Amino acid sequence: MPLTRPADTLSPPRGEGWGEGCIFRFKGRDAWAHAMNVMTSVGSKTVERSQDPSVKAPAALPQIERLVRHREPGDQPGIIRLNRNERQEPLPDWFVEEIRSAVTSDLFTQYPVADALYEQLSASLELSQDEILLTAGSDAAIKAIFHCYVPPGGSVVMLEPSYAMYGVYTEMFGARRVGIGCNDALEFSAKELSDALEKRPSLLMLANPNQPTGTLLDGKIIRRLLERALELGVLVAIDEAYYPFSGITYLRAIREFPNLVITRTFSKACGLAGLRIGFAVAAAPVIGALYKVRSVHDVNTVALLAALKLSQHPEIVEQYVRHLREGAEIVAQRARELALEVYPSSTNFILIKVGHLVPAASVVDGLLRRGYLVRGPFSQTCLAACIRVTLGPPKLMNDFMNALDATLRDCRNH
């Protein structure tokens, strides 16, 4: 009995909600089941039961039924996407050419072998191979952490707002989310974090730098949290997706803190978002647990090849980070000229406060009409006046700021 994809998941995102690659809200079980397009064959005749409300698909687990996620709409041609924090500069031609010429039929026909990349990472990070786990994007590493350490009925402490998938995985594994909000200066309270830790959550999940705020937690606060979490037996995950831009890492601390796991990605500064590759780093017992829940052969052959070559050529990332900083300078300077405030960012995106001049939603719409997709408006009070813009090299940022200038003028004149 073939099941077609529920029509519901193909519809474009609706309503509020935000995150990287997902929009989620709660919905009833009946609405989901009703949308299922169940077909069955009787002899040569196909009977379509999708319109019959008495025919229901089996329900998924209650926490999955409550979770609603939609497929993102496709790209609009000609739009520059500054909403997903992707690398905004092509990888060098020689790099792409070397990957292209190394792509053989075997890479398609054979299951992936990751040994070379494990060896390379182990050497460059000065870790043993059993302290590293390669995953299909760092998102898969984060999901594995939840899978191993967050029981149904448990709780997860996270910054609020933060990477949307932390909330999704909390729901998915039947746990409770404990969000630590930020003030208008986008600062998180150390006291609230440590009070939440005292309640012995299943996981303390920190993005550092955080997304979408772009902020880093103070090093002393992180160390105190790690010390206390160790005493309490709580796992701390630090998501370092934006590490190449911040230069701040807790990787070395995994030897001191067996309750610490770090996730990193090749998606952002490295520019391999489309290939899906990242990794987790932790003491061997934690990596051993994460290994058990990974999907078999999850990291593909081409991703392994490209990540290996990038790891052998750190200058590619270093050069991009330099260009990005020059781009960030241009945004900051032009924003000042336009009487706009920008928040300091340790990442490849920047929050620009526009709400005191015109509503953030009108700016997002106006920029889209001028060919730029940015993130916003945000539902959180601390970000309500902001748009979030992925940073790129100077020329792109100059062009973008011209579009922002024109958009603000349009908005004021209407």
Q: Which residues bind ligand PLP (CB under 6 A)?
A: 20, 85, 137-139, 163, 207, 211, 239, 241, 265, 267, 273, 278
Distance, CA of 49 to CA of 55 (rounded, Å): 7
Distance, CA of 412 to CA of 414 (rounded, Å): 6
Min dist CB 206 to ligand PLP, Å, is 10
Min dist CB 375 to ligand PLP, Å, is 10
Min dist CB 241 to ligand PLP, Å, is 4
Min dist CB 146 to ligand PLP, Å, is 13
Min dist CB 58 to ligand PLP, Å, is 30
Q: Are 177 and 154 in contact (CB under 8 A)?
A: no
- State both tokens at 284: 């061997």
Distance, CA of 142 to CA of 161 (rounded, Å): 17
- State both tokens at 270: 């490295």
Q: Which is nearer to ligand PLP, 20 or 405 (CB)?
A: 20
Using alpha carbons, list the distances in angstroms from residue 161 to 19, 31, 52, 330: 10, 29, 41, 27
15: nearest Cα among 4, 23, 5: 23
Min dist CB 298 to ligand PLP, Å, is 12
Q: Which is nearer to ligand PLP, 278 or 327 (CB)?
A: 278
Q: Which is nearer to ligand PLP, 107 or 273 (CB)?
A: 273
Q: Which is nearer to ligand PLP, 50 or 300 (CB)?
A: 300
Using Cβ positions, the residue closest to ligand PLP within the complex turns out to be 137
Min dist CB 389 to ligand PLP, Å, is 14
Indicate the pairing of strand 132-135 with strand 278-282. antiparallel
Q: Which is nearer to ligand PLP, 266 or 400 (CB)?
A: 266
For residue 170, give the H/E element and its range: helix 164-172
Q: Which is nearer to ligand PLP, 210 or 362 (CB)?
A: 210
- Hey, is 200 helix, strand or coil? coil
Q: Which is nearer to ligand PLP, 140 or 175 (CB)?
A: 140
- Hey, is 399 helix, strand or coil? helix
Min dist CB 137 to ligand PLP, Å, is 3
Q: Which is nearer to ligand PLP, 68 or 207 (CB)?
A: 207
- Hey, is 61 helix, strand or coil? coil
Amino acid identity of residue 76, one-letter, is Q
Q: Which is nearer to ligand PLP, 282 or 401 (CB)?
A: 282
Work out the number of other CB atoms within 10 angstroms of the CB of residue 140: 24
Q: Are 79 and 373 in contact (CB under 8 A)?
A: yes
Distance, CA of 331 to CA of 398 (rounded, Å): 7
Min dist CB 280 to ligand PLP, Å, is 11
Phi, psi of 37, rounded to the nearest 5 degrees: -105, 90
Question: How much is the CA Rg of the chain, to the nearest whole Å?
Answer: 23
Residues facing 236 on adjacent strands: 204, 260
